[in-house]
Structure 1
Amino acid sequence: MLRGRSRPEPIMSIDIPLTMPFVHLLGIAEICTTAGVIHGGALMAFADSLGALCAFMNLPAGATTATIESKTNFFRPVTKGAVHGTTTPLHVGRTTIVAQTDLRDDAGKRVALVTQTQAVINRA
């Protein structure tokens, strides 16, 4: 129980594809490097959004969240197609939620693995 409310069961995973295919095909060069690949910062921002969504889905009523730590390992560049992300909560606690986001290309090859800690912020 948390302040008289029971905590919902954790959401085990979410799977949300990146809403934009490879940006050069769309003419959006602002998030590409000069080498023509999606910038690592854009991938990190995508993973951060998914991690925050995962945390939000596991918050107690009336709470909010903010990223307090994030670590990214990059494995390969993305030169075409889309990036797909799957986020899984590793820990859902009273004060923090740890989520891991697996980013993969259209071929299913791992692009990056992001582990982040989200603070559980009670508004009351």
Structure 2
Amino acid sequence: MVGDGLESGNWVAQNGSGELADAMGIEFTEYTVERTVARMPVVGNRQTVGFLHGGAYVVLGESLGSMAANLHAGAGRLAVGIDVNATHVRSATSGYVTGICTPIHLGRTLTVHEIVVEDDEGRRCCTVRITNLIKDAPSD
């Protein structure tokens, strides 16, 4: 079944999480079609005043939503982001933030995911929404 722990782990092992996600220290801890979770360190991703950079929240959210959409898309298909937005409600200054990604819509050609990003105390810092277009993967 697509989305079970073993198959999901193999997908991540084969495809990785991307250069930017790796550079930002994003670690995937759960990966299924129904729920994808990752965490990211605040230190190393802050703006000059010491807050986690707003763009870092978006990178975490887009990484989660795109990976989940690609898992849903299945073999021979590719999900690509066509819209992403974020609402910041709290600033993180240390520790980690954790993104929890859940689907709003899982269609044949479009997916929509909501990603709630929380700090170490479980307080919502940001809500990200991403829409992905699913299309045939390019031929080699």
TM range (shorter): 0.7 to 0.9
Amino acid at match of 2:81: T
Q: Secondary structure at the match of 1:41?
A: helix
Correspondence for 2:47? 33
Correspondence for 2:103? 89
Q: Against the structure 1 CA distance between its residues 34 and 96, is the aligned structure 2 distance closer, same or farther, given a 3 Å change threshold?
A: same
Correspondence for 2:87? 73
Correspondence for 2:42? 22
Identity of aligned pairs, percent?
30
The two structures have a TM-score, normalised by structure 2, of 0.72
Q: CA deviation at 1:92?
A: 0.8
Q: Secondary structure at the match of 1:53?
A: helix
Q: 1:103 aligns with which of 104, 113, 117?
A: 117
Larger helix proportion, structure 1 or 2? 2
CA contact under 8 A between 2:33 and 2:69: conserved in structure 1?
Answer: no
Q: Secondary structure at the match of 1:113?
A: strand
Amino acid at match of 2:42: F
Q: CA deviation at 1:11?
A: 1.9
Correspondence for 2:10? none
Q: CA deviation at 1:8?
A: 5.2
CA contact under 8 A between 2:98 and 2:119: conserved in structure 1?
Answer: yes
Does residue 1:13 correspond to 2:35, yes or no?
yes
Higher Cα radius of gyration: 1
Structure 2: how far apart are the matches of 1:112 and 1:80? 15
Correspondence for 1:3? none
4+ runs deviating over 6 angstroms: none
Correspondence for 1:4? none
How many residues are matched?
110
Amino acid at match of 2:36: I
- Unmatched tracts of structure 2, length 5 or more: 4-31
Structure 2: how far apart are the matches of 1:86 and 1:94? 23
> Which sits farther off after the overlay, 102-111 or 89-98?
89-98
